[in-house]
Amino acid sequence: MNTAPQNLASPAPAGTGELAARFAREFGGTPEGIWQAPGRVNLIGEHTDYNEGFVLPFAIDRTARVAVRVRPDSTVRLLSTYGDQGVVNARLDSLQPGSAKGWTKYPLGVMWALQQRGIEVPGIDLLLDSDVPLGAGLSSSHAIECAVISALNELTGAGLEAQDMVLATQRAENEFVGAPTGIMDQSASLRGSEGHAVFLDCRDQNARLVPFETQPADLVMLVIDTKVSHSHADGGYASRRASCELGAEVLGVKALRDVQVGDLAEASGLLDEVTFRRVRHVVTENDRVLRTVELLESEGPGAIGSLLDASHASMRDDFEISCAELDLAVDTSRASGAIGARMTGGGFGGAAVALTPVALEQAVRDAVVKAFADAGYKVPDIFTVSPAAGARRIA
């Protein structure tokens, strides 16, 4: 079940003053601070993270923001600026997996995960505002979690490093929310930097920034939100992960990270047809991530289009996590001038990205909208994103 509110357009982000004023109206006092964390686009490297492989996401210029005030008791009061859910109340001593509903799973999951680390978490009042599209595969849930853990890390004086916060939010996702995700989304949100992608080794959390600036190359990164909602808590994600674990077990490796492209011929004789295709996607995707990093550092973003295309084909055919709307967005973008396009995120809906020459941006937008209308699909939301800074306090 998708835990984020659905069928809601992403609202315009509130300014810090507006958010603080809304907080005061709702909770009767001023917040102690406002923290924000970005959503992310995964440039390339899908479903490689939980296989201890490589990913290349970047934080985007759409964020979740939380205004927070510590309470003198163990009550948690949560409110979002979107939807009509009203204030949700919870108690710190009753937090356990399955105890939260809707978007509140994410902040409450973070608080629970910090408690599991032995950190004394206070009651809080929290107001959430976000313009990260919901259910689009741009990690709206992790943006919330990273904003909350950034706030609590400061307010409790826990002194957690980025890698500690990554693991804490992963535990919140895996055990509290019930989504078997890896560490990519949190890493991008917490470690992002303007003008860069985050090259992450998911085995040891080693991360370094890779230049990814589209403007000097006369390119834009278009995001095409298909409006087909997805959820990591649904069974498709878990079944793909189980296939990867089975493949690693049969091949006698710790994780699929340890299988090279040259090993695939032998692997095909050891695995059933479906498991082999799942394995082939992960192995070739890891290779594509490494080649993308090399090209970005040597030639720039104009050289990576064919790798984006190959990544989408692999997700469509081998991992089988695309859908008709995503395929149409990718195919139409390429036919209309994008130099490379792929679905991004966990799949089964969500968004595609299209790396597009500035001069052809409008042509691509128009072609995709027309193609969706002709197919009888919902009108897609199309917008540009740029690599942005990671989670931080903003007021």
| Residues 179-190, mean pLDDT to the nearest whole number | 90
- CA separation (Å) from 227 to 62, 214, 240? 17, 25, 23
- 365-380 confidence digits (pLDDT tens): 999 999 999 999 999 9
- 224-258 confidence digits (pLDDT tens): 999 998 655 456 888 999 999 999 999 999 999 99
- 13-25 confidence digits (pLDDT tens): 678 999 999 999 9
Say what the pLDDT of residue 231 is: 58
Residue among 185, 225, 309, 318 flagged as catalytic? 185
- 88-113 confidence digits (pLDDT tens): 999 999 999 988 989 999 999 999 99
Q: Give the residues across from 78 on adjacent strands.
A: 88, 126
Lowest mean pLDDT among 117-121, 204-208, 216-220, 314-318: 204-208
Say what the pLDDT of residue 237 is: 82
Per domain, the residue ranges of the chain are 16-212+388-393, 215-385
Topology at the third CATH level for domain 16-212+388-393? Ribosomal Protein S5; domain 2 (3.30.230)
Short-list 138, 117, 311, CA closest to 229: 138
Short-list 138, 133, 142, 147, CA closest to 31: 147
Confirm whether 234 is a catalytic residue: no
- Token pair listed for 123: 């009651």
pLDDT, mean over the chain: 93
Confidence of residue 296 (pLDDT cuts 50, 70, 90): very high
Say what the pLDDT of residue 10 is: 45
Task: Give me the residue label for tokens 């999951």.
Answer: 109
Q: Which CATH superfamily is domain 215-385 in?
A: GHMP kinase, C-terminal domain (3.30.70.890)
